[in-house]
A and B are shown apart, each in its own frame.
Chain A
Amino acid sequence: MSAAAAAGHALHVLRGNRVSALAAILGLVLVLAAVIGPLLTRYDPVTSDVAHALQPPSAAHWAGTDQLGRDVLARVVAAGRLDYAIAAAAVFLSFIVGAVIGGACGFRGGAVDRWVGRVVDVLMAFPLFVLAMAMVAALGNRVENIVYATAIINLPFYIRFARAEVAVRRQAGWVEAASASGNGPGRIVLRFLLPNVLPAMAVQISLNLGWAILNAAGLSFIGLGVRPPTPEWGIMVAEGARFITVGHWWLVAFPGLALMLSVLCFNLLGDGLRDMLDPRMRT
């Protein structure tokens, strides 16, 4: 029994690593496809070719063509650039701002911290997609506003996360010890707390990238931000939606698959990172 349990456990650890490795490879392929993919296809993602409209997947068009005869695969690949760029920019922005605000609150504590904590808790429970929608509407229907809106609705999560991570460690004995060793508050934050918090932040970033992609695509799906004919997964799904009831599945399925794989990949990478950074995993 015990031998079987040990073997099962070993397999479990191995499987965990295998999944992360797979996710890493998948991530690499997706990003590469987004970066150099457009150079590899012979179709232009925006030029229409009405003669070949709405063709199902074939040898010539692996993912079929849309209502204007554009190659779906070329558009999916080209859209990756935009979607990844939006997500990365949004997450970068909210990470920087959130880490600074959250870290400062967590380290300082006190009334301001309690107040920020409460407001963040409340904001997290708010229908944030609605907020993003209204924000894009108010700021103007442009791509950069999608980035800002996505960054702002991500912000509460980062603030809360950084705050909790820092606050937990601030109580740790080694922070007190650092103070006794003659380290000032600034040094303690930079040299002691930050290196300990960063790995957990990396996990959070990876998980949030997936979420940011979903948000950006969702906003474009309802017609905000990116405008046609720019290739973007959300818009492609929205355009394909008109044809789903007549059975042209490929218009929705391929951009949908690209979205799904991207989010899956970032989530798995995040989970894998977390497992790797778990102190119990170390020898």
Chain B
Amino acid sequence: MRKLAGIARLAGQRLLSSLPALLGVVVFTFVLMRVLPGDPAVFFASGPSAGQQEIQDLRHQMGLDRSIPVQLAFYLRDIGTGSFGRSMTTGQPVLKDLRERLPASLELTFTALFIALGLAIPMGVAAALNPGTAIDHAVRFLCTLGVCVPTFVSGLLLIYVFYYLAGIAPDPTGRIDVFTAPPPSLTGFLVIDSLLAGDAEAAAAALRQLVLPAATMALFVLAPLARMTRASMLAVLGSDFIRTGRAMGLSRSRIIVVYALRNAALPVLTIAGIVFSTMLGANVLVEKVFSWPGVAAYALDALLASDYAPVQGFVLLMASIFVLVNLLVDVLYGLADPRVAAA
């Protein structure tokens, strides 16, 4: 109980210290909306055909004729109620657009994260257990190389190799090929939805589309994860309590899994949180390369079309996801490390 209270306090602290950053983002998006060319009232008006009077009324209604602090207050109220305005490109409310596209981005990001973690942790552990050997050198070489290749280059090269040369990958456009009917939406994750609907063919089609973009993203974050796993595992393996375990005759597997890996996982968890944020950013590039209909591609299209309401909604969405992820990391960390709750 005391431990849970400690974790709760810690999570609260983190939430509190996220507030300045979050507030900064909100003010930033507010400025974005005000500074940028274009009258916000026009965004909310029924369309380009709206009359001068209608816009004037809207200005008054939206408080655009008030002082800046009052406007900021109105803005905060709007965000609180989820009204991010309307996209000029799609003609829909931004919130609706984001809600439709978010599962695509999350499906891609989570798949990539699981692939990356599933590869990076064994790689890092193997390298740390055999320092100085060929395995270690190979992992370190991969790590050094991995951070050097930008996602937009590796993604395109993967397309070239697997789509153009080998012909085994599908056309790199979208989440599911045009000939397959998408499953009824439940979770929004196409692979899972297809499986839930019992449609193996659709699941396979969705998976085929997912593999290349997810691999591209996973390659990008593999290096920092494997590097951190190796470093933290090496540090733990050299620590006194591992020697104690050996001196007490504990089995090798118990020392590696229970004593070393659990301790080494703590810094990896922190890095995984940062890596997730990086992936949210990298989404912009990967979604563009693979024409993936996610929130990032949506925001990017809007940005290039000088349609700023979706950009603002996107930035706020990213900020909220990032706060949630950080909270999750903190809670997991608190559960894994008793020292945190006591501090």
Interface residue from B152, B163, B311 paired with A218 (Cβ < 8 Å) = B152
Nearest 9 CB-CB pairings of A with B = A129-B281, A256-B153, A127-B280, A118-B17, A263-B148, A127-B281, A264-B148, A122-B21, A252-B156
Q: How far is the CA of A245 from the CA of B319 in the complex (A)?
A: 35
| Residue picked from A123, A134, A249, most chain B C-beta under 10 Å | A134
Residue of B whose beta carbon sits closest to that of A118? B17
- B interface vs A, CB < 8 Å? 17-18, 20-21, 25, 28-29, 31-32, 35-36, 132, 144-145, 147-153, 156-157, 159-160, 163-165, 171-172, 273-274, 277-278, 280-282, 284-285, 288-289, 296, 300, 303-304, 308, 311, 314-315, 318-319, 322, 325-326
Given A126-B319, A128-B277, A244-B164, A134:B148 Cβ within 8 A: no
Q: Does A130 lie within 8 Å of B318, measured CB to CB?
A: yes
List A contacts of B289 (CB < 8 A).
Answer: 241
Cβ contacts A249-273/B at 8 Å (1 or 0 each): 1001101100111011001100100
Q: How far is the CA of A249 from the CA of B326 in the complex (A)?
A: 40
Q: Does B18 lie within 8 Å of A221, measured CB to CB?
A: no
Q: Does A119 lie within 8 Å of B17, measured CB to CB?
A: yes
List A contacts of B280 (CB < 8 A).
Answer: 127, 130
Interface residues of A in 215-231 (CB under 8 A from B): 217-218, 221-224
Q: Taking A218-B152, A237-B152 as given, write out 4 further A-B residue pairs in contact, using a Cβ cutoff of 8 Å, ordered by the A residue number.
A: A138-B28, A221-B150, A222-B300, A244-B159
A205 at interface, CB cutoff 8 A: no
List B contacts of A127 (CB < 8 A).
Answer: 277-278, 280-281, 318, 322
Expressed in whole angstroms, the minimum distance between the Cβ of A121 and any Cβ of chain B is: 7
List A contacts of B278 (CB < 8 A).
Answer: 127-129
Expressed in whole angstroms, the minimum distance between the Cβ of A105 and any Cβ of chain B is: 15
A185 at interface, CB cutoff 8 A: no
Q: Does A125 lie within 8 Å of B326, measured CB to CB?
A: yes
A133 at interface, CB cutoff 8 A: yes
Expressed in whole angstroms, the minimum distance between the Cβ of B314 and any Cβ of chain A is: 7
Expressed in whole angstroms, the minimum distance between the Cβ of B127 and any Cβ of chain A is: 14
Q: Does B21 lie within 8 Å of A119, measured CB to CB?
A: yes
Expressed in whole angstroms, the minimum distance between the Cβ of B258 and any Cβ of chain A is: 29
Q: Does A256 lie within 8 Å of B156, measured CB to CB?
A: yes
List B contacts of A129 (CB < 8 A).
Answer: 278, 281-282, 284
Q: How far is the CA of A224 from the CA of B301 in the complex (A)?
A: 12
List B contacts of A252 (CB < 8 A).
Answer: 153, 156-157, 160
Given A129-B278, A137-B303, A218-B285, A264:B144 Cβ within 8 A: yes
List B contacts of A255 (CB < 8 A).
Answer: 153
List B contacts of A221 (CB < 8 A).
Answer: 150, 152, 285, 288
List B contacts of A137 (CB < 8 A).
Answer: 32, 36, 303, 308, 311
Residue of B whose beta carbon sits closest to that of A221? B152
Q: Does A245 lie within 8 Å of B277, measured CB to CB?
A: no
Interface residues of A in 93-129 (CB under 8 A from B): 118-119, 121-129
Expressed in whole angstroms, the minimum distance between the Cβ of A98 and any Cβ of chain B is: 17
Given A125-B322, A237-B153, A246-B164, A130:B315 Cβ within 8 A: yes
Given A126-B322, A129-B281, A245:B159 Cβ within 8 A: yes
Given A222-B300, A244-B159, A210:B284 Cβ within 8 A: no
Q: Can you list 15 contacts pairing A with B, beta carbon distance less than 8 Å?
A: A119-B20, A123-B21, A125-B273, A125-B325, A129-B278, A130-B318, A131-B315, A133-B300, A134-B315, A210-B148, A214-B150, A222-B300, A245-B172, A252-B157, A268-B144
Residue of B whose beta carbon sits closest to that of A223? B304
Given A12-B132, A244-B164, A256-B156, A122:B300 Cβ within 8 A: no
Residue of A whose beta carbon sits closest to that of B288? A222
List B contacts of A253 (CB < 8 A).
Answer: 157
Expressed in whole angstroms, the minimum distance between the Cβ of A214 and any Cβ of chain B is: 5
Expressed in whole angstroms, the minimum distance between the Cβ of B29 and any Cβ of chain A is: 8
List A contacts of B145 (CB < 8 A).
Answer: 264
Residue of A whose beta carbon sits closest to that of B315? A134
Expressed in whole angstroms, the minimum distance between the Cβ of B159 and any Cβ of chain A is: 5
Q: Does A130 lie within 8 Å of B281, measured CB to CB?
A: yes
| Residue picked from B18, B150, B288, most chain A C-beta under 10 Å | B150
Residue of B whose beta carbon sits closest to that of A256? B153
List A contacts of B326 (CB < 8 A).
Answer: 122, 125
Expressed in whole angstroms, the minimum distance between the Cβ of A141 and any Cβ of chain B is: 9
Expressed in whole angstroms, the minimum distance between the Cβ of B301 and any Cβ of chain A is: 10
Given A126-B21, A129-B284, A260-B148, A244:B32 Cβ within 8 A: no
